[in-house]
Amino acid sequence: MAEIAFDAGTRSWLIRTAATGYALRLTEDDAPSHVYWGPALTPDQLADVLPRTKERWDAFNDPNEGLDELAADGGTRYWTPALQLRFADGTRALEWRYLDHDIDDGMLRVRFRDRHYPLRITLGYRVPAGTDVIERWTELTHDGPDGPIEVIRADSATWVVPVRPDYRISHVTGRWAAESQLLREPVPHGETTFGSRRGITGHHANPWVMLDDGEATERHGEVYSAALAWSGSWRITTTRSSTGRLTVTGGFGQDGVVPRLNPGDTLTTPVFAGLYTDGGFGAASRAWHAYALRHVLPHPDELRPVLYNSWEATGFDVTEAGQRELAKKAAALGVELFVMDDGWFGARDGDHAGLGDWHVNRDKFPGGLEPLVGEVHGLGMKFGLWVEPEMVNPDSELYRAHPDWVLHYPQRTRSELRRQLVLNFARPDVAGWAFDSLDALVGEYGIDFLKWDMNRPFSEAGWPDDGDQDRLWVEHTRAVYGIMDRLRAAHPGLRIEACSGGGGRIDFGVMARTDQVWTSDNTDSLDRLVIQHGYGQVYPARAMSAWVTDDPNFVTHRSTPLRFRFHVAMAGVLGIGGDIVEWPEEDLAYAREQIALYKEIRPVVQHGRLHRLLPPDTDGVSALQYVAADGERAVVFVFRQAAHFHTHERPVRLDGLAPSARYRDDDTGQVWHGAALLAHGLFPGLPDGDFASVVIRLTKL
């Protein structure tokens, strides 16, 4: 349990986690100001850190800029604002007045109000048990009788990074089928904003950053990181000044979208969590993974099943007989969850029609889904379905009945992507219809798993019948969360995978309501090494769906060995996505063998500690290692992507082992000293040629 203490004399709060400390205080004019973030300090030690307000040295610069706990628009500070409001009379500046605070069960709430206008502000802090993560959020309440307050920007938190000689930022970038590509680069001076204006988390960036002084490595160095738990439009802004200060502010929303607070309304922002670690990027990642497993994922102790998905085998050409044949083949391989993808509902013979009509296509399934679901359950597997509840085809029963249910403006074209329009889940009637449709589907057929897809961003994001149309950007995402929450409550056995054209909706907000996420539509194993490397900087393998698909790959048309494809996918939540009816018997036999191996190592992969030994490159060797939580077992994956020039095999140094212990290779029986594996490493024994791979299982003696 975190310790949170208030010192009335200095009007400061100190939050102490197991290994870190965080402090804030009130200035003379009641504004919340940042004090400290870093290694743990006692209250007495903090006294040496508490700053004094600095006097101005000119008329252009406030020496206290960049130290605000939540940088607000107003006064003579011109730092990037985290909070911008416009009151009913047009006034924009905020002036703080401290009210009170409370400390309860690892949570701190500090309450303020504006000195004149009817606005209350609460800054929230919480340390989940057993972590060094500090969750922060903001609540805004209109507590007056008159006029709306426009919310121009309401970030969840401003994180102030200690002054260092230089700064480097780590983040991911990408696009569809090329998500989560890790970049590490100097932090530019001025303001740099990462974000999504698409209504979803997005393929092009992801809402987290890591900051260091430019000297951190995988194993060494201080890293300051922050991750936003939000699945809609978002922005994270770094601000670096010529004085050496650096802040990170982030939250939901986007420029130009200005929702309103009406009298009595409260707006609660999503969590923007921060984490300080001293142990390099690897320690930061392992801390985020532990946080996700203990405090984010709904069923953290579960092992995710090996699944089969029918998409590559059938496309839209779905029939009951075809699905039965695939199910029998999948069960014989050892698959535990059979998922029927697109094409089972409405007039769904292609992407042009049927979305929104969530009733079984009786031409394809004359008896409904009961016979197929019964067959799958009888084969010892659970049954899952692909759905895309937020979308509708103009060629559908739903759209013809309710054309007003989509995002639109009265005098603007309704842009289509993938022949789809976006339903407005901010409308209670639309959200109610979506829940009722999915609830009936899951309940009637005994569905165990939903692959919840979302295949296009917002456009023409209007709501003509509502006086505050901009609120739909937040309320749509909240409605998605609410439907997932209600479905899970009504059907405790239901499990959900989040998908958005691949990895377009991956964040801690959606992970709190789903059991796994679809990492990318690109299943090419070479590309997946890069995608999974970026994903794993913050998010855990326990939620990372990874499939073995047909050769050549349908996205890249690259050919790779079945062994390589399996080993890459086995570093996450293993799935099979190929047309297994057409696989030769030797491939089926190998698949059975590898699925059995995965089930044996799955507890270590899904619940162990990740150590990135060698990062993936376009050629050369990469390696990663998982160590069980109790330290008794380890699994090492080694990959050779390509070999341009012949070189002798080099040892791979391991990590996370006990130097004084000995470890046995479960396949060869060879025994090594932990100290030797850490200091020198082991020769992995990669097969010759490109796209070679090996899985090494170690047991502590």
Which residues are marked as active site? Answer: 453, 521
In this structure, what token pair is assigned to residue 601?
């190592």
446 burial (CB, 10 Å; 0-12 / 13-18 / 19+) is: middle
Looking at the chain, the number of H-run helices and the number of E-run strands are: 13, 37
The answer to whether 626 touches 634, Cβ cutoff 8 Å, is: yes
> Other CB atoms closer than 10 Å to residue 370's CB: what's the count?
13
Could you tell me which of 29, 30, 10, 12 has the C-alpha nearest to residue 21? 12
The pair of structure tokens assigned to 698 is 């170690």
Cα-based angle 142, 146, 149 (whole degrees, multiple of 5): 45
Q: Name the residue type at position 676.
A: A
Q: In this structure, are residues 638 and 651 in contact, taking their beta carbons and an 8 Å threshold?
A: no
**H or E element, residue 101:** strand 96-104
| Amino acid at the residue 488 | R
Task: Give CA–CA dist 449/444, Å, rounded.
Answer: 14
Q: What angle do CA 20, 26, 32 make, to 5 degrees?
A: 75
CB 667: neighbour CB atoms within 10 A?
13
Residue 207 tokens read as 């809402």
Tell me if residue 425 falls in helix, strand or coil.
coil
Distance in angstroms (rounded) separating the CA atoms of residues 390 and 484: 12
Side-chain-facing half-sphere of 326: CA atoms under 13 Å: 27
Strands of the sheet with 260-261, listed across from one edge:
83-86, 149-154, 260-261
